[in-house]
Amino acid sequence: MVSNKDGLELLANIFIKEGIKDIVISPGSRNAPMMLTFPEYEEFNIYSIIDERSAGFFALGMAQKTRRPVVLNCTSGSALLNYAPAIAEAYYQQIPLIVLSADRPEKLIDHGDGQAIQQQDVYQNFIRKSVHLPEDIKSEKDSETYQKLVFEAINAAHFPVMGPVHINVPLDEPIYGEKEKSTPPLIDFYPKIPSFNLEESKQQELQQKWNQISKKMIIVGQMPPQSDLNQILEILSQQQDIVVLTESTSNLHSELFVSKIDQTLTQIDEQNEADFIPDLVLSFGGLIVSKKIKAWLRKNDKLEHWHISLDDHAPDVFSSIKEHIKLEASLFLKSLANSTDSSKKFQKNWLDAVNRTNELQKEYLRQIPYSDLMVFDNLEKLLPNNTQVHFANSTPVRYSQFFNFDENIIIDSNRGVSGIDGSVSTALGQSLCFDGLTFLITGDLSFFYDNNALWNHYLHPNFKIVLINNGGGGIFRFIDGPLKSGKIDLFETPHTRNAKYLALDAGMDYNTCYHEDELAIEITQLIQSKKACILEIFTPRVINDQVLKDYFNQLRVAL
């Protein structure tokens, strides 16, 4: 038996036809027809999460791993507003989500009915497409219109780039009626799949300009591992006039890449800056974590920036964009692989700076006190291969840039909007779609902000949390403004909370670390734990900023 509401069987069968498997439902009343229908199809994996904000990020994590749309289903009213942070993150990360919101019929909107708001186009600033389905299906034409809207929304979740879409479904009472399940016929839908090609004349123009420029920089933002791109970039890096900058979230690895951007920038001053400044920057991928590289490149008025993406919008990251290349990155980079090497020093300058900072970093880490930086040093050495790590915002993902994690570790983070909300839920969703261990490396505020993520039935033994608790928002001590304001407590949110009872309530193992000599032992025990587990590492609140400032001062010693 399924709901007797018009169209829901069509919805279910369209989802199946389009290869959609995962549906995350937040219980409610107006979406009861969906809850009566979707579980009756064995093709679906159904997840129930009461907190819509957590559910949104949980679905985001699943879609990040599968690269397949995940459906989010909720009741009407404020429920779908609670998806908004995850939807915005999905939009800027280009992750496919389908919000399927139940709604009141139009006659009840703004007429005093409960749980009724204006739901159409509610995500208009960060959505790929929104559709509002008909309330009734009374004819074959109505059915075709209904189906076409659903197919178009799903298509928009894939092309021209992936992203979230919204399907709003008005449902009138009664909403608990049922009927026997059937298989309604579906229309033939031929999606509009855009093709992207550069005209040969344009390709030749760009190649010619590329060959004429002697100092070229490629910067790669956030993206999942792509071995073909890694290989192409390594080939390009054989040329001395090209330097490739990556971050932990780029998931690219080579000794020829500059992977510690902020540290390397410490080796640049007014005397040698001309040896490092590129004439052309080529970028692709998602958001770049390093603020320093963006600020440094923005100072160069003569810089030319090319960005590769299939999206209609090219972000002007360095205030110097000249070309938006709408092509797959691998295809365009291959076209540059046989370009002329016009410089013998540019890349060497950068790699020499990398080597200097690596040696200085090793020297500094040998003598630092127990601190957040020491924790990340240990994590780099101890995290096992063939795992995935989700770094929460805001300091964990920044600390991750200081280390070279093994190339067999997949690194992710919510760097679309970069909020601290939803990191636990996202990592948990990822863990369900990955066979190996999933680690969440998080600060205390981000963890406690999203502790509702532990209130569900999906905590698998492969899920491990490293919670670095320094008693507040430590990042605000790294910024001069909050400290100088005299109101650091308002910025930092100091507290004395711990995660012990949250872990026990969720049925997780729980261990603590307070001292340097416990770090390696406790991290190893976390890895070996046979249950979902939290390791809470307590670090001093007031010295982490000084340790980090001394770290960068030490790197500058080489100048």
DSSP per position, 177-241: -EE--------------------HHHHHHHHHHHHH-S-EEEEE-S----HHHHHHHHHHTTSTT
The residue type of 86 is A
The DSSP line for 64-88 is HHH-S-EEEEE-SGGGGGGGHHHHH
pLDDT the model gives residue 490: 65
Rounded CA-CA distance 5/2 in Å is 9
pLDDT at 249: 98
Alpha-carbon span 148 to 158, nearest angstrom:
16
pLDDT at 489: 67
What confidence score (pLDDT) does residue 33 get? 97
**256: number of Cβ within 10 Å:** 17
Residue 384 CB burial class (10 angstroms; 0-12, 13-18, ≥19)? middle
The 3-state DSSP composition of the chain as helix, strand, coil percent (nearest 5) reads 40, 15, 45
Beta-strand pair 70-74/22-25: parallel
| Contact (CB, 8 A) for 279 and 421 | no
Phi, psi (rounded to 5 degrees) for 180: -70, 140
pLDDT at 491: 67
Task: Quote the distance between the C-alpha of residue 151 and its chain's center.
Answer: 26
What is the 8-class DSSP label of residue 280? Answer: E
* CA separation, residue 250 to residues 33, 87, 221, 231, 397 (Å): 42, 22, 6, 14, 12
203: left (phi over 0), alpha (psi -120 to 50) or beta: alpha
Using CB atoms within 10 Å of the CB of residue 330, give its burial: 0 to 12 exposed, 13 to 18 middle, 19+ buried.
middle
User: 384: which DSSP letter?
Assistant: P
Distance (Å, whole) CA 82 – CA 80: 5
Q: Where are the alpha helices (DSSP H) in 249-290?
A: 261-265
Return the closest-CA partner of residue 372 out of 293, 469, 297, 298: 469
pLDDT at 116: 79
What pLDDT score was predicted for residue 235?
Answer: 95
> What is the reported pLDDT for 495?
85
Q: What was the pLDDT predicted at 17?
A: 97
pLDDT along the chain (559 residues), means of 10: 95 97 96 97 97 98 97 96 98 98 88 82 96 94 96 96 97 94 94 87 93 95 97 95 97 97 96 95 97 96 95 93 96 88 85 96 95 96 97 94 96 96 97 97 96 93 96 68 67 85 96 96 96 96 89 81
Residues 329, 244 contacting (CB under 8 angstroms): no
